[in-house]
Chain A
Amino acid sequence: MHLLPVALLLAASADAGALGRAAEEVARAVVDGPPDRVSLRVAAPGAEGLAEPFAAALAAALGRRGLAAAPLRGREPPEAAARAAGADRLLRVRLALGAGGRDLAVAVEVLPLRESFFLQAYPATPGARLIAFAVPADAAALALARPPATARAAAPSLVPLFALPEPVLALAVAVGGDAPAILAAAPGALLLLSAAGERLASRPAPEAPPGPGRRAPAAALAAAGFGEGRLAWQLAGMPRAEVLDLAGGRLEPVAELAAAPLAGGGAGPLLGAFAPGLPLYQDLLLLRADAAARARSPRLLQGAAAAPRPGRAAFAVLRADDAAEVLGRDLAPAGPPVEGVGAAFALADLDGDGEPELVASRAEPGESDEVRVVRLGPPAEVTFRSEPVAGALLAAAAGDLTGDGVDDVVLAAAVAGGGTRLWLLSSDPREAAR
Chain B
Amino acid sequence: MSPGRAAALVGLLAAAPAAAGVRPRPGGELRVLLPAAPAELDPARAASPADLVLARALHATLLEVDAAGELRPALAERVTASPDGREVLVRLRAGLRFHDGSPVTAADVAESLARLLRHGSHAWIASAVEGADAVRGGRARSLAGARPLGELEVAVSLSRPEPDFLRALAAAPAAVVHVGPGGLSGAGPFRLGERTADAIRLLPFEGHHRGRPWCDGAVLAWPDPAAAARRLARGGADLLLRPEPVAGAAARDGPPLLLALAAVSPRLGAAAGPLRAAIAGVDRAELARLLRGPAIPLAALLPQLAAAAPVAAPPPGPLPSRLALVVAASLRPLAERLQVKLFDRGIRAAVEAVPDAALPARLAAGAHDVALLPVALASGAPRLALAQLAQALGGDPLAPVEADAAAAAARLEEALAAVPLAAAPLRAAARPAVQGLAFSPDGGLDLADLWFLPDRRGAR
Contact = CB atoms under 8 A, between A and B. Distances in A.
B304 interface: no
Interface string A378-401: 000000000000011010000000
Interface in A4-58: none
Interface in A208-255: 208-217, 235, 237
Given A211-B95, A212-B95, A302 B207 contact: no
B281 interface: no
Contact of B94 (A211, A280, A416): A211
Interface string B436-460: 0000000000001100011110111
A341 to B, nearest CB: 10
B201 interface: no
A208 B13 contact: yes
Chain A interface size range = 35 or more
Contacts of B234: none
B454 A415 contact: no
Given A212-B96, A212-B207, A276-B212, A392 B27 contact: no
B314 interface: no
A235 B27 CA distance: 22
Interface string A300-316: 10100000000000000
Interface stretch (B18-26, B175-183, B382-390): B18-26
Interface string B20-46: 111111110000000000000000000
Given A208-B13, A365-B435, A216 B21 contact: no
A212 B448 CA distance: 14
B224 interface: no
Nearest to A364: B453
A115 interface: no
Given A187-B14, A394-B21, A415-B21, A211 B454 contact: no
B209 interface: yes
B214 interface: yes
B15 interface: yes
Contacts of A215: 15, 18, 24, 210-214, 448-449
A394 B25 CA distance: 13
Contact of B23 (A209, A214, A302, A416): A302
B156 to A, nearest CB: 23
B59 interface: no
Interface residues of B, number: 39
Contacts of B69: none
A277 interface: yes
Residue from B18, B19, B96, B212 having most chain A Cβ neighbours under 10 A: B212
A322 B433 CA distance: 14
B52 to A, nearest CB: 21
Given A212-B211, A339-B458, A280 B15 contact: no
Nearest to B435: A365
A273 interface: no
Contact of A209 (B95, B435, B460): B95
B26 A213 contact: no
Contacts of B454: 320-322, 363
Contacts of A187: 14
Nearest to A235: B14
Nearest to B446: A215
Contact of A216 (B24, B207, B435): B24
B27 A300 contact: yes
Given A214-B14, A216-B17, 17 more contacts: A210-B95, A211-B94, A212-B210, A213-B210, A215-B211, A237-B13, A276-B212, A277-B211, A280-B26, A300-B26, A322-B454, A340-B460, A363-B454, A364-B453, A365-B435, A394-B23, A416-B20
15 contacts: A167-B17, A212-B207, A212-B209, A212-B210, A214-B15, A216-B14, A216-B16, A216-B24, A217-B17, A275-B26, A275-B212, A302-B25, A392-B21, A416-B20, A418-B20
Interface of A: 167, 187, 208-217, 235, 237, 275-280, 300, 302, 320-322, 339-340, 343, 363-365, 391-392, 394, 414-416, 418
